[in-house]
Amino acid sequence: MSPSRENRIDLVRGISLLLIFVDHANVSFSEALQQSRGFSDAAELFVMMAGISAVLAYHPVAGRPDFVTVAARTLSRSFKLYRVHLTLLLALTTAVFLLPLPNREALVSTWSLRPFAEDPARFAVEALLLRYLPAELDILPLYIVLIPTVPLWFALIGRSPRLALATSIVLWLAAGLLHLDLTDLSQPKGVWYFNPFSWQIVFLIGILAGLRVRQGLVPFPYSRPLFMAAVAFCVVAVPANILAHFGGYAADGPLRFLVSKTSEGPLRLINALAIVYVAFNLDILRRASPTGWLRPIFAAGRNSLPVFVTGTVLSDVVTTFVFGSGGLALPLEIVLVALGIAIQLLLAVHLDRRKRKPSASSKRSLLVASTRDRDYGRRPPKVLPPMSDAATDPAT
């Protein structure tokens, strides 16, 4: 397999996108679905795939990267995500405060828009500075911060991969133990829900795996004992997390740190690694064809930014219906969720078809990067679906 054709990255990201949509839709089963995946969730998978994508987008197949060029391209991508983030925030605040929405107060409270309603001038400035991230609009800012660090990680890894990993671990531990974080005035604790100083370790693991893919190696080498241990952890983590979360054990005590999403607690990190290790070593996923019946999900992974934006808007629409009606009947919730998933998959397939046309623009819309054809060599044969810019791309 070519190092630029690691299709499972697209598959994992596509599934993650759909799970994120359901998680954020605030239907009656959203929380149960999110917690039924173990200690970690789709966010870790997304960030790890982003690390792999960054390598495929910015690191040459052979030799050392041009750090000046990489810095310029990552900053450009980060600024694009910044614009997308502000556009989503502007659309949300405009809809909430100008449209005649039912039960507006509940939405304002749920999406942490009360500060903006009371002092729009101040909090508009805070939003521009990424110090106010309401309405679950906190995942793109994490990428905005992480993507420009790519050349720094490349430089460290060039000296020693172990040095890079040790640096990441020390920063992760310091952030968790010393509560190092950025300011978010929409959160009760006043800090970013996705602490970039903690989540960088997930991103770096993806970068290290991506370097293996770039060299034509499998990202996560198979070991039967390790595979069986990962499977066992994934299975045990599901009931353990459900008991911890719904039993209230995760709210206090030492378990609070172990499963903290903000600090990327150890159990979350291990669980995420176990899920990815199993996913990349299952024969059924290795054989999955991006042109078969799973094509729409692969397409969602290849077009993650527009699909993520669409999913964010649709989840807000579903949430508005849920809060506006005081709660929907379960069959109607299922219909709305299924409709939202269908819209995202149809969009992804449509974008894939546009890319396959000879007249299609060479510009590609991704979270991590816009990879030029020379980075990959020749384009794949026409019978294959188009690759995303980083052979994948990240998102929520």
| Confidence category of residue 248, pLDDT binned at 50, 70, 90 | confident
Is the predicted pLDDT of residue 288 greater than 80, yes or no? Answer: yes
pLDDT at 149 over 90: yes
Q: Which of 214, 193, 135 lies closest to 390 in space, CA to CA?
A: 214
What mean pLDDT comes out for the span 50-78?
94
* β-bridge mates for residue 191, sequence order: 183
What pLDDT was estimated at residue 291? 87
289: pLDDT strictly greater than 90: no
Q: Determine the pLDDT at residue 367.
A: 56
Of 24-38, 186-200, 230-244, 357-371, the range with the lowest mean pLDDT is 357-371
Indicate whether 375 pLDDT > 60.
no
Between the ranges 155-159, 248-252, 366-370, where is the mean pLDDT highest?
155-159
Please name the amino acid found at residue 282: L
The average confidence (pLDDT) of the chain is 88
Model pLDDT, residue 337:
97
Predicted local confidence at residue 393, as pLDDT: 44
In terms of average pLDDT, the best of 28-42, 144-158, 373-387 is: 144-158
Instruction: Report the share of the chain in percent with pLDDT over 70.
Output: 88
How sure is the predictor about 256, in pLDDT bands with cuts at 50, 70 and 90? confident
Closest CA to 134 of 79, 186, 172: 186
Q: How confident is the model at residue 387 (pLDDT cuts 50, 70, 90)?
A: very low
Asked whether the predicted pLDDT for residue 347 surpasses 90, the reply is: yes
Percent of the chain with pLDDT over 90: 74
Residue 359 has what pLDDT? 52
Ramachandran quadrant class, 130 (left: phi over 0; alpha: psi -120 to 50; beta: rest): left
Q: What is the pLDDT of residue 395?
A: 40
Q: What is the pLDDT of residue 245?
A: 85
